[in-house]
Chain A
Amino acid sequence: MSSESPANIGNAPEGSLEKAPGIPLWLTVLSAVFFVGGAGVFAGSVGGALAHRAWQVYLINFVFFTGLSFGAVLFVSVLNMTNAVWGRSLKRLAESLGAFVPVSFILFWILYFGKEAIFPWSAHPAHGKEVWLSVPFLFVRNGLGLFALSGAALALIHESLRREKGVSSRMDPALAAKGAAQSRRRQAVLSPVFGILYAVVLSLLAFDLIMSLDPHWVSTLFGAYYFIGSFYTALAAILFLAALTRKPLGLESFILPNHFHDLGKLLLGFCLITGDFFYSQFLVIWYGNLPEETRYVILRVREGGWAATAWAVLIFSFAIPFVVLLSRKLKMIPAAMAGLTALILGSMWLERFLLVAPSLWQGSDFPFGFLEAGVTAGFLGAFALCVIFFLGRFPRLPFSDPLFKRPVEEEK
């Protein structure tokens, strides 16, 4: 893998695939409308009677989209660490999903303003946990963690993009090669660092932002459940993005049905792992039957509205994807995969809803209505704007990556 020259791009004509003429303007406008509208709905509600609901759905969206974004960068990091060749064409798309990271960092700090609404222990300190569950300490440690994780993510993406400039502007090949080797080394070091930070920081986030909402409930697997579920969600999002942008961005010859097959298999694997993590917690808590643990689970599987949500999540996040992803034919149809992954994304959002809302919601009705749709649309708009911005500015394929080759249609 030593040929680092621009000729490595294959037959792509200079500049033709590098900018993205394919992202339609209406999409950008729609995303902006969603974002502004959502922000407005949120801002309007936080002052009034629905403040608790507003902060609740803000938190849900925050943990969902943050996990998704970091999960996508984890995919990039794993590709680097395993020197995998099959997924290279998807690398840049995954990085585009990571573009939300700096925005998520800003959104984290806004949580501070909702601390009374979000953290039940801010007004009534949890007995025995006063040291750990104190607002300043929580924000400092999570802020630092997110800062480190975001820094690692952006550094990783930056290194991956750095070489594109060298390639496209046709630098002196020797210099380009040297820069390329340096960039490769840096990515090789950053990837495991990011991986470790991902596990630690997202676990911390899960313990602090989700598990602490029910301060006297603990589950040692909770952090891992959150970050594995986020990775599963991210894989679904990458597949969704690949299916959606194949034609508009002119990537048909680079992202083949084979890639959908492979990514579909990986998605199936993580569907099973996430389901297994869920079951591990469920079985242990059910079997031990200790009241301080079962309270959390009983609320979510017995009480009317929550129970229906729980069944929906089980069916749409695990049962249906499992059955669909077993079929080889279905995995290779981009449209089918787009539909399935959209279902998974929606269902995993519901899953985060199910983790957060029952702990916070005191009312008797089911907190799902216009407010939730609005704030979620706001987050979705912000996320989409980040992805569009990224794909508009940077090459859509990792041309300078030496493991990236024009894929040959395999016979299967």
Chain B
Amino acid sequence: MERFTYQEVNREILRTLNPPRKPYYFLVGGLFLAVLYAASCWAYQILTGMGVAGVMHPVNWGIYLVNFVFWVGIAHSGTLISAILYLLRARWRTSIARSAEAMTVFAVMIAGLFPFIHLGRIWVFYWILPYPNQRDLWPNFQSPLVFDMIAISTYLTVSFLFWYTGMIPDLAAVRDHATGLRQKIYRILSLGWVGSHRQWRHYTSAYVLFAALATPLVISVHSVVSWDFALSIVPGWHSTIFAPYFVAGAIHSGLAMVLTLLIPLRRIFRVEKFITMETLESIAKTIIFTGLIVGYAYGVEYFMAWYSGNRVERDTFIWRAVGHYAYAFWIMVVCNSVAPLAFFFKKVRTRLSSLLLISVLVNIGMWYERFVIIVGSMAHEYNPYSWGNYAPTWVELSIMAGSFCLFLFLFFLFVKFLPSISITEIKESLKPPARERSKA
């Protein structure tokens, strides 16, 4: 990290909160309209029924659940970067932690919407919550779907609180820089933080504890999501490797999303001196690692399908590669495990264009991976008479597009209203201002 003064850090990062120019308003407005459109599609689905979606026997879980798993996966890298890398004391996380955490919160919120959308009779969603009722009905705590409900709501709560707590000192910095109504709003948001030694003492302790608690949580959440599938006996789903495989895949897609978002961000806000090439390179190297894990999982699954001699298992895996959804399978393999290998070359991982390209490819590949696993397995189960294909309808695709627009919409709002780089942590990584050094 270059030598900055504290004042420079404050100034540069608070500058990103200045009122935006016209293109921003158009972009945000457009995204909002897209979200409204998707919401109206959802309203249409609620009024008309689930038949407007493509889900039908045998594929009862369609792209609503593909998107659910996809967005939970995206959420994971945020917690990885802010919590796990914090515990491992990796320096390159400092400038990207706040945006990554924001990404997590928004992604979990959007992921949480999809089970509702998939539910159809959304007005009875609360039946899955454990609350005392006059018929003494309770959810089945052995069901992975109930695990999901508990895990996702815990993850949403914890990641939101972690993100918010991390921002409190930064919000104080914004408050002290602002005037008028803005100052009042940030005064409330920063909870009256003054940076006294007492407050810092408890804060630093609490932050480490948050990170230590968030780390096993993030691993458990995507393990729980993977168990939605692995605890069944559907061929291609019932596999012990699913938990670590999904967690690695989640981090893989999340890191790629971080790259996709931050490369334009650092250019637009001109914060290249904070989000340095070294940071981007470290992300790229981690993507190699997660890509290798995902590739290993593909290999082991295929090997085990063959080794087990189980006819149904073998047939499922062969069909994945050559059947109706073969295109999705090959996109998945090439984008997830082959493309990131290019990052072994320094030239590739230090060039913005190749970083952006490969990160987009990985995101596409990871989406298709969920598609191949979920739709591909359900379309081709035990009984040949029950085999059938699935194709998403315009309603499902509109809602999916809306989810991406919602994510970008929230993220755009975030970067303009809240400090997207952690002011305090950047300052902590610098040497404190000292009289001797200033003389030199």
Do A and B share a direct contact in the complex (Cβ within 8 angstroms)?
Answer: yes
Give me the interface of A with B, judged by CB distance under 8 Å.
Answer: 82, 86, 127-129, 132, 192, 196, 199-200, 203, 207, 218-224, 265, 272, 276-277, 280-281, 283-285, 287-288, 290
Whether A280 contacts B308 by the Cβ 8 Å rule is no
Contacting residue for B227 out of A218, A276, A283, CB 8 A? A283
B53 touches A (CB below 8 Å): no
Contacting residue for A221 out of B219, B241, B292, B309, CB 8 A? B241
Whether B230 contacts A128 by the Cβ 8 Å rule is no
What per-residue 1/0 map shows which CB atoms of B226-239 lie under 8 Å from chain A? 01001111000011
Cα–Cα distance between A220 and B308 once the two chains are bound (Å): 10
The answer to whether residues A284 and B238 also contact, given A196-B292, A276-B243, A277-B244 and a CB cut-off of 8 A, is yes
The answer to whether residues A280 and B87 also contact, given A203-B300, A220-B241, A285-B240 and a CB cut-off of 8 A, is no
Contacting residue for A218 out of B87, B244, B304, B344, CB 8 A? B304
Within the complex, what minimum Cβ distance (angstroms) separates A4 from chain B? 21
Q: Which 8 A-B pairs have the closest CB atoms?
A: A128-B309, A220-B241, A221-B240, A280-B243, A221-B241, A287-B231, A281-B240, A218-B308
Closest to B216 in A: A272
Query: What would 27 A/B residue contacts be, using CB atoms closer than 8 Å?
Result: A128-B309, A192-B344, A196-B292, A199-B296, A200-B296, A207-B307, A218-B308, A219-B304, A220-B240, A220-B301, A221-B239, A221-B240, A221-B241, A222-B240, A223-B300, A224-B241, A224-B300, A276-B219, A276-B223, A276-B244, A280-B241, A280-B242, A283-B227, A284-B227, A284-B230, A284-B238, A288-B232
Whether B243 contacts A290 by the Cβ 8 Å rule is no
If A203-B300, A287-B227 are given as contacts, then 8 extra A-B residue pairs at C-beta distance below 8 Å, sorted by A number, are A129-B309, A219-B240, A220-B240, A221-B239, A272-B216, A276-B244, A283-B231, A288-B238
Whether B230 contacts A218 by the Cβ 8 Å rule is no
Most buried by A among B240, B241, B243, B292: B240
Q: Within 8 Å CB of A200, what residues of B?
A: 296
Give me the interface of B with A, judged by CB distance under 8 Å.
Answer: 87, 89-90, 216, 219, 223, 227, 230-233, 238-244, 292, 296-297, 300-301, 303-304, 307-309, 344
Within the complex, what minimum Cβ distance (angstroms) separates B218 from chain A? 12
Q: Within 8 Å CB of A222, what residues of B?
A: 240
Q: Within 8 Å CB of B242, what residues of A?
A: 280, 284
Contacting residue for B233 out of A221, A265, A290, CB 8 A? A290
Within the complex, what minimum Cβ distance (angstroms) separates A287 from chain B? 4
Within the complex, what minimum Cβ distance (angstroms) separates B121 from chain A? 27
Contacting residue for A220 out of B87, B231, B232, B239, CB 8 A? B239
Q: Within 8 Å CB of B292, what residues of A?
A: 196, 199
Within the complex, what minimum Cβ distance (angstroms) separates A134 from chain B? 13
Cα–Cα distance between A288 and B241 once the two chains are bound (Å): 14
Whether A127 contacts B296 by the Cβ 8 Å rule is no
Q: Within 8 Å CB of B87, what residues of A?
A: 265
Q: Within 8 Å CB of B216, what residues of A?
A: 272
Closest to B308 in A: A218
Whether A221 contacts B231 by the Cβ 8 Å rule is no
Cα–Cα distance between A86 and B87 once the two chains are bound (Å): 13
Whether A224 contacts B239 by the Cβ 8 Å rule is no
Cα–Cα distance between A176 and B307 once the two chains are bound (Å): 51
Cα–Cα distance between A281 and B308 once the two chains are bound (Å): 16
Whether A290 contacts B238 by the Cβ 8 Å rule is yes
The answer to whether residues A132 and B233 also contact, given A221-B241, A280-B240, A284-B238 and a CB cut-off of 8 A, is no
Cα–Cα distance between A265 and B303 once the two chains are bound (Å): 35
Cα–Cα distance between A328 and B158 once the two chains are bound (Å): 24
Cα–Cα distance between A313 and B277 once the two chains are bound (Å): 46
Q: Within 8 Å CB of B231, what residues of A?
A: 283-284, 287-288
Closest to B299 in A: A200
Cα–Cα distance between A204 and B303 once the two chains are bound (Å): 11
Q: Within 8 Å CB of A272, what residues of B?
A: 216
Cα–Cα distance between A277 and B297 once the two chains are bound (Å): 14
Closest to B238 in A: A288
Contacting residue for B223 out of A199, A280, A287, CB 8 A? A280
Within the complex, what minimum Cβ distance (angstroms) separates A293 from chain B? 9
Q: Within 8 Å CB of A285, what residues of B?
A: 240
Q: Within 8 Å CB of B89, what residues of A?
A: 86
Q: Within 8 Å CB of B240, what residues of A?
A: 219-222, 280-281, 284-285
Within the complex, what minimum Cβ distance (angstroms) separates A271 from chain B? 11
Closest to A289 in B: B233
Whether B308 contacts A221 by the Cβ 8 Å rule is no
Within the complex, what minimum Cβ distance (angstroms) separates B81 from chain A? 15
Within the complex, what minimum Cβ distance (angstroms) separates B368 from chain A? 21
Q: Within 8 Å CB of A290, what residues of B?
A: 233, 238
Most buried by A among B87, B292, B301: B292
Q: Within 8 Å CB of B233, what residues of A?
A: 288, 290
Cα–Cα distance between A281 and B219 once the two chains are bound (Å): 15
Contacting residue for B244 out of A86, A128, A224, CB 8 A? A224
Cα–Cα distance between A149 and B306 once the two chains are bound (Å): 25
The answer to whether residues A280 and B244 also contact, given A200-B296, A265-B87, A288-B231 and a CB cut-off of 8 A, is yes
Within the complex, what minimum Cβ distance (angstroms) separates A172 from chain B? 30
Within the complex, what minimum Cβ distance (angstroms) separates A283 from chain B? 7
Whether A284 contacts B296 by the Cβ 8 Å rule is no
Contacting residue for A132 out of B223, B238, B241, B307, CB 8 A? B307
Cα–Cα distance between A123 and B307 once the two chains are bound (Å): 19
Cα–Cα distance between A128 and B244 once the two chains are bound (Å): 29
Within the complex, what minimum Cβ distance (angstroms) separates A401 from chain B? 19
Q: Within 8 Å CB of B90, what residues of A?
A: 82
Within the complex, what minimum Cβ distance (angstroms) separates B213 from chain A? 12
Cα–Cα distance between A20 and B394 once the two chains are bound (Å): 74
Q: Within 8 Å CB of B301, what residues of A?
A: 220
Most buried by B among A82, A203, A221, A224: A221
Q: Within 8 Å CB of A221, what residues of B?
A: 239-241, 243-244
Closest to A220 in B: B241
Q: Within 8 Å CB of B223, what residues of A?
A: 276, 280
Within the complex, what minimum Cβ distance (angstroms) separates B214 from chain A? 14
Q: Within 8 Å CB of A288, what residues of B?
A: 231-233, 238
Q: Within 8 Å CB of A287, what residues of B?
A: 227, 231
Within the complex, what minimum Cβ distance (angstroms) separates A253 from chain B? 22
The answer to whether residues A220 and B304 also contact, given A287-B231, A290-B238 and a CB cut-off of 8 A, is yes
Cα–Cα distance between A339 and B9 once the two chains are bound (Å): 48
Within the complex, what minimum Cβ distance (angstroms) separates B86 from chain A? 12
Closest to A200 in B: B296
Cα–Cα distance between A233 and B89 once the two chains are bound (Å): 23
Cα–Cα distance between A393 and B122 once the two chains are bound (Å): 71
Closest to A132 in B: B307
Cα–Cα distance between A218 and B301 once the two chains are bound (Å): 11
Cα–Cα distance between A287 and B304 once the two chains are bound (Å): 20
Cα–Cα distance between A163 and B230 once the two chains are bound (Å): 49
Closest to B296 in A: A199
Closest to A272 in B: B216
Q: Within 8 Å CB of B241, what residues of A?
A: 220-221, 224, 280
Cα–Cα distance between A350 and B90 once the two chains are bound (Å): 35
Closest to A276 in B: B219
Cα–Cα distance between A276 and B246 once the two chains are bound (Å): 13
Contacting residue for B239 out of A127, A192, A284, CB 8 A? A284
